[in-house]
Structures are given as structure tokens and as C-alpha cells.
Amino acid sequence: MDRIKLLPDNIANQIAAGEVVQRPASAVKELLENSLDAGATEIRLIVKEGGTQLIQITDNGLGMSPTDARMCWERHATSKITKTDDLFKLSSFGFRGEALASIAAIAHVEMKTKRSSDEIGTLIKIEGSKIIEQDQTACLDGTQFSIKNLFYNVPARRNFLKSIPVELRHIIDEFIRVAMPHHEVAFSMFHNDKEVFDLKPSSPSKRIAELLGKRNDADFLPVSESHDLLNVKGYVGKPEIAKKTRGEQFLFVNNRFIKDAYLHHAIVNSFDQLIAKDQFPSYVLFLELDPSRIDVNIHPTKTEIKFDDERAIYTLVKSAVKKALGQYVVIPELDFGDPNTFNPVAFLKHEDEPNSLGKPAVKVNQFDPFKSGSNMRGVQTSQWHKLFENNYLESRENTQPIQQLIPNNLKNAQITDAFQIAEGFIVANKDNKLIVVDQRAAHERILYEKHLNSIQRRSALTQQLLFPRTIELSGPDYAMAHEILEEMKELGFDVADFGTNCLIINGVPAETMKGTEKDLLEGLLEHYKNNASQYAHDKRKNLAVSLAQNEAIFRTRSMEKEELIDLLEQLFDCELPATRPNGNAVYIELNTNYLSERFK
């Protein structure tokens, strides 16, 4: 008996839908791009309950004839290409002919479409790939898609959907990626009848500022570089607006959003020594090159592209960004009327004139052991922690309050000696065993158990700010923050909504250092986002891990012997001192038997 059978179209479409439509945001992306391919100048997106109940997109594009309105739902039906060579000179977003067929296979779909030359439009209704109605209808020029009950017939896929705020955040991501390069098109978006975006046709810089939640065009530096191979245009954020959170990095090739770690590396490297290592620069770059030099037919989502000369593209992108940053950073602000500021002939003098230049006075804010008036001398041993107040705490790497490392009641010391080696490793003697500890990992374990305990007991203390601070976030980060506002309160944060893409910080955990509230919240959101896949089903644990990662001391932190011992005592008071929250080791232990064996 023959075993191989041809799958029915509805099952084949559902399988294809698993790649093309992974969540409501995938359907939004495909439909928005179809509207742009149809030449629309006004596009409206309406979603309800994160797109799980309704996704509606209305445009004023070309519209379709009655025949095309029915044909577009068939698999591999497309108006974009007719032969293989067309794949290498694409000027449209869509070309596979899979999106509408995939959507129709897993949802209830209604489409109204009308060309400007037609007197009346066409209505199509589809459920599970089956056309249940086709009729004439009165409608405006263009096309309107209404998608209801997404994944109604694929319960397994529907169960994998996240919460409404999470799905909304992904929809906002896709909306921004489509709207950003098309500043000449009007876009609007509504969620549960509440306006999220209302974008009028504008300049590229204004469109970017609107979508990223910034109101000042001066935050961006223009990038413009032309070459026979590639044109690079766009904007990079000034170094001072770099954030600890990702989400403001956008790279477009021929107006198509792409993800490319290699080119991202080129851009970030251009900011070397201009921003901290734990910060991410903002950038929106548009690359224009001959379609024959790229291949977009890599993945159904079309966010991956292959270049025929990737190294040359890397070099040109890096050069363009460096040029923009160089014009902003390198040019000093000089007062040419002040002879002390600008005197190009100061080195010229007559023999009878004293040397006006003299020796340069160099002042360095650091400890001089040979200077009798040093601030580091005269401090009592019992007040050792004050040694760090004036000097070490001023550096960025040492912003953690030293009190976090000192328990109120020290137990009988089990650590008899400790010292630092290399960068960030502590060597100590514990119970006649030699241990080597990663100091950042140790502090992370201590803070994690402390924060998790505070969440479970709801005992975190909040320090109210005398002057509340506001923080602007990108649309996706703003939506993500709303997911965890209640859990953040359990950690000691008092944060509330303050309008579109804005939060107001009224209070922070009690031990937060003054002036670092904004950095603390941004860092928390960044780590939470990075840990989302690992702790997908435990928001509280993710928050505890994220805050511990954000607050843990740097490996470059220099500490005195007493401080090292205090840190280790706290570590060995933890429930699981041997591992970090992610399972990596905190320390290694070498006993005398092992050492004896090694030296035989």
C-alpha cells in the first residue's frame, strides 16, 4: 500500500504559516509592507488585545480587481516577480506569495478593496483557507484587511502566545520598522481604541524623533557617505544619549529592515572610547545599493540579507559613522578672542622675554603616597571604608555603595586571608582550602538572593525622591516596562506612567546611590530584556537576576583586604554560594590533597 500522500492545501498553508506568521506582529508586518507595495500614502493600523482579537489595516493604495482580490489568497500568487532573475532586482517588500495564504489559513479574514477606476469594490471573507463569501461592496479606494481570531484553528500555536502587553510590544516593533524609512507616508496606530502613534508626512529626522520618543532633532548626528558600491545615509545618536538598553538600533537596506551582527559591530566600534562598554548607541542608518549585489531570499521573515562584498560594506559603514562622530566630537569650542585660549604664535619670544609658556601644571585626582597632605592618610583603621568616599566612588566603575558589601553583624570569620589577582579575582584561605573567587559573580549571587527574598516577602524599602525624575523609552521598552510595573514595586521601585513612552520615577530601592536612578532603571530593563528567554515563565526571578546583574561591582573594582573578606563572608552566607543565578561557577576550590598530587 502506498504511504506517501499529497497534503491538502489547508494543512500545507498551516505549516507555511508556522514560518511566516509566528505571532500577531508577523501578520502586521506583512500587511503593512503590502500596503507600501501598493503605493499607499496613508496607512492606519488598529489592533485589539495585542492583535489576538483583531488586526485591521486600511490603506489608500492601488486596490485590486475582483479577480486579483480572489487570486491573492492562493499560495505563491504574487504580482512582484515572474522569473528567477527578478529575485536579484527586487524593488518591493513582498515576493514569495505566501503571506496572505498563510494568514488566511489560521484566522477569520475579511478584505474590502477597490481601484480608483472602479465604481464599486470587492468583499472577500475567508475562514481557514476557505472562501465563504465574495461579493460587491461600497468602500473607499484602496484596501482594508480585518483579521480576527488569529490561530483559532491552531490551539497549540495560540497557547504559545505571550501576554497582551508582550504581543503589543512586538507589534509596535514591527510598526516602527516599517514606518521609519517611509517618512513621506502618513501612519497611525490604535490599540483598544487608544491612539499609540499619529505620524504625519515629515522629514526623516523628525520621523525618527517621533518614533524613538525624543523631541529634539539635535540629539542626532547626520551620516552621509556616497560610494560607487554603497550610499550610507541616516543618523547616529550623540554619545551622551547612549543608553544601557537596546532597542534604538535600526539598520535598513533599500528601506528594508535587517538584522546583521557584522554591520552592528562596525557601528558600535565607531563609538570606541566615546561611550561606556555597557552602553548602546542609537542609530538609524539607511544603506542603498544595487539590488543585484544582495540576496534577500534567505528566510521567510526577510530580515536576513547576504551581501556579495560584506567586508567592503563593513568598512564603508564604519567610515561613514566615524566621520559623523569625528565632526561632532573632535571640533573643540574655542574663544578666538581670548589670547590664552587661542595663541598660535605663543611659542615665539625674544631672548630677553621670559618664557610665557612655563611648565604645564598637571593635576591628577589620585592618591600620592609621598605627599604629606594626602587625603588617604590619617584615617583610622576602624573607618577604613571612608578611604573610598572621595576618590574611588567618583569613577564610573565604582558607583556601587560600599555599604552593600558590609553586613551589619559580621559572623566569626572563616576567611583568614584574602587578596586580589589579575582583574576581578579574589584568592582566599577558607577552612585551610585555597579558593579563587570571581568578585563580580560573588556580588551578583549576594544581590540576587537579597532581591529575591525582598520580592517574596515584599519587604523591599523604597527611598522616595525629593524631585521625581522622568525617563523616555522607546515604544517597545515602554510597553515592556508596563508588563512589570507591579513586580518592580516589590523591589522598591515607585514608577508610574507619565504619558506616551514616558515613565516617572518617584522612588527607588533604599540603597540606590543618589543621581543614578535613571541609569539603574535603564540597566534593569536592558538586563530584563536580555534574560527574557531564560526566565520566560518567572518574571520575579528575572527581575531579581536583572537587578543583581545591573548592581554587581565591576571586575576592575579595587578593594582592601577587609572589604574582600566581608564580601566573601556574605557570599558563604548565601543558600547557593557556588553558582551564579545562571548556573555558572562563582569560585573554584583547591584543597591540599589536590595541590600535593600536582607537585609530586
Both 532 and 466 in one domain: the answer is: yes
Domain termination site, one of 161, 182, 201: 201
Both 114 and 237 in one domain: the answer is: no
Residue 34 has pLDDT above 70, yes or no: yes
Q: Within a domain: residue 517? A: yes
Q: What is the mean pLDDT of residues 326-336?
A: 56
Both 404 and 325 in one domain: the answer is: no
Both 468 and 531 in one domain: the answer is: yes
Q: Within a domain: residue 368? A: no
Highest mean pLDDT, choosing among 81-90, 430-439, 443-452, 509-518: 443-452
Q: What is the CATH number of the domain that holds 194?
A: 3.30.565.10
- How many structural domains comprise the chain? 3
Domain termination site, one of 313, 329, 345: 329
Alpha-carbon dihedral of residues 224, 228, 229, 235, nearest 10 degrees? 0
Q: Which range is least confidently modeled, 56-70, 169-183, 387-401, 519-533? A: 387-401
Q: Which domain holds residue 49?
A: 9-201
Q: What is the mean pLDDT of residues 113-139?
A: 93
Q: Within a domain: residue 363? A: no
Q: Within a domain: residue 512? A: yes
All cell numbers assigned to 385: 571604608
Domain termination site, one of 329, 351, 368: 329
pLDDT of residue 148: 94
Contact by Cβ (8 Å): 528, 542: yes
pLDDT of residue 215: 55
Q: Within a domain: residue 444? A: yes
Q: Within a domain: residue 374? A: no
Q: What is the mean pLDDT of residues 165-190?
A: 93
Both 437 and 552 in one domain: the answer is: yes
Q: What is the mean pLDDT of residues 332-351?
A: 45
Q: Which range is least confidently modeled, 88-92, 337-341, 452-456? A: 337-341
Q: What is the CATH number of the domain that holds 261?
A: 3.30.230.10
| DSSP letter for each residue of 404-423 | GGS-SS-----EEEEEEETT
Contact by Cβ (8 Å): 55, 27: yes
Q: Within a domain: residue 600? A: yes
Both 152 and 179 in one domain: the answer is: yes
Both 146 and 237 in one domain: the answer is: no
Specify the amino acid at residue 239.
P
Q: What pTM does this model have? A: 0.66
Q: What is the mean pLDDT of residues 119-133?
A: 92
DSSP E strands, 149-282: 186-191, 194-199, 220-226, 231-237, 249-253, 256-258
All cell numbers assigned to 404: 552593600
**pLDDT of 268-289, one tens digit each?**
999 988 888 878 898 999 999 9
Contact by Cβ (8 Å): 403, 535: no
Q: Which residues contact 495 (CB under 8 A, 6 or more apart)?
A: 481, 485, 488, 489, 503, 504, 505, 506, 521
Q: What is the CATH number of the domain that holds 462?
A: 3.30.1370.100
**pLDDT of 480-497, one tens digit each?**
888 888 888 888 899 988
In the predicted model, what is the mean pLDDT of the chain? Answer: 79
Both 71 and 107 in one domain: the answer is: yes
Both 296 and 176 in one domain: the answer is: no
Q: Within a domain: residue 538? A: yes
∠ Cα 419 422 423 (to 5°): 100
Q: Which residues contact 457 (CB under 8 A, 6 or more apart)?
A: none
Residue 102 has pLDDT above 50, yes or no: yes
Q: Which segments of 89-163 does DSSP mark as H helices, in order?
A: 99-105, 155-159
Q: What is the mean pLDDT of residues 76-90?
A: 61
Q: Is 592 exposed, middle or buried (0-12, 13-18, 19+ CB in 10 A)?
A: exposed
Residue 46 Cα distances to 100, 187, 192, angstroms? 18, 11, 8
Both 507 and 569 in one domain: the answer is: yes
Q: Which range is least confidently modeled, 22-31, 210-219, 416-425, 459-468? A: 210-219
* Cα separation, 459 vs 449, whole angstroms: 13
Both 407 and 323 in one domain: the answer is: no
Both 168 and 241 in one domain: the answer is: no
* Cα separation, 517 vs 508, whole angstroms: 7
